Amino acid sequence: MSSNDYFRQRFEEEVRTTRDALGPNFDGLDLGYVSIGFLNKVFNSKSPNRLRESLEEDVKKLNMEDVFNLEDIERLESTVRMRAPKLYSILLMINHSHRIVRLVKHDPPIDDSIFNAALKSKLSYCSEERLIEEPLLCDIAANFYKAQWRIPPRFNPGAHESFPCTLFRFPFVGAPAYKDNGSWGVVYRAKIADCHLTSDPSVPVRARPFY
């Protein structure tokens, strides 16, 4: 199995695991996801270094082996691990992982910042319009846009964000528990997966309650 396929398999397994953790009340709903914490875990594994191997496969697909030396691969690996794990994972999911090479070498580099709220926008995801405007992604914009929802965004507790309800997945750790009826509907208590709620960087981010 190639390292590209290894990651795709791990992602598919994690989607099934997180979906099954929601329990029978959510049967028939496609709500499984891959958490940012899971990405950090699989991309930091060094025995073997699957991320390095996967990127080497991507370089070969572009026939760029002759212009990539060991230091280039190490820089690419570091960039993906630190600045583009979500971007690279989505490209893996839609079988376009080789594009990461030109994306991070672009001036300016295209990395996970494309999922950050744009100027004068409350979006914490990459809109399809924005993808269509990017020459390196425009031809896969529709597939990329849909696949990004398998890795839910980070939530900003200080902002009222809106997401497309037909595609959005909450990164719940297990099924939400009913608490009470509120003024605007039913109140549930749930835990959010690691790394999906912003916090003080000095405080470790762990799964936490969410209402």
pLDDT at 111 over 90: yes
**pLDDT tens by residue, 42-71:** 999 887 899 999 999 999 998 876 667 778
pLDDT, tens digit, for every residue of 152-162? 998 876 666 77
CA distance 174 to 203: 23
From the CA atom positions of the chain, what is the Rg in Å? 18
Helix residue spans in the chain (DSSP H): 3-20, 36-43, 50-61, 70-83, 85-93, 100-105, 128-132, 141-147
In a domain, 173, yes or no: no
Q: What's the CA gap between 75 and 92, in Å, rounded?
A: 19
Q: Domains in the chain: how many in total?
A: 1
- Inside any domain, residue 188: no
Task: Calculate the CA 43 to chain-centre distance.
Answer: 12
- Whether pTM > 0.95 for this model: the answer is no
Domain region containing 28: 3-157
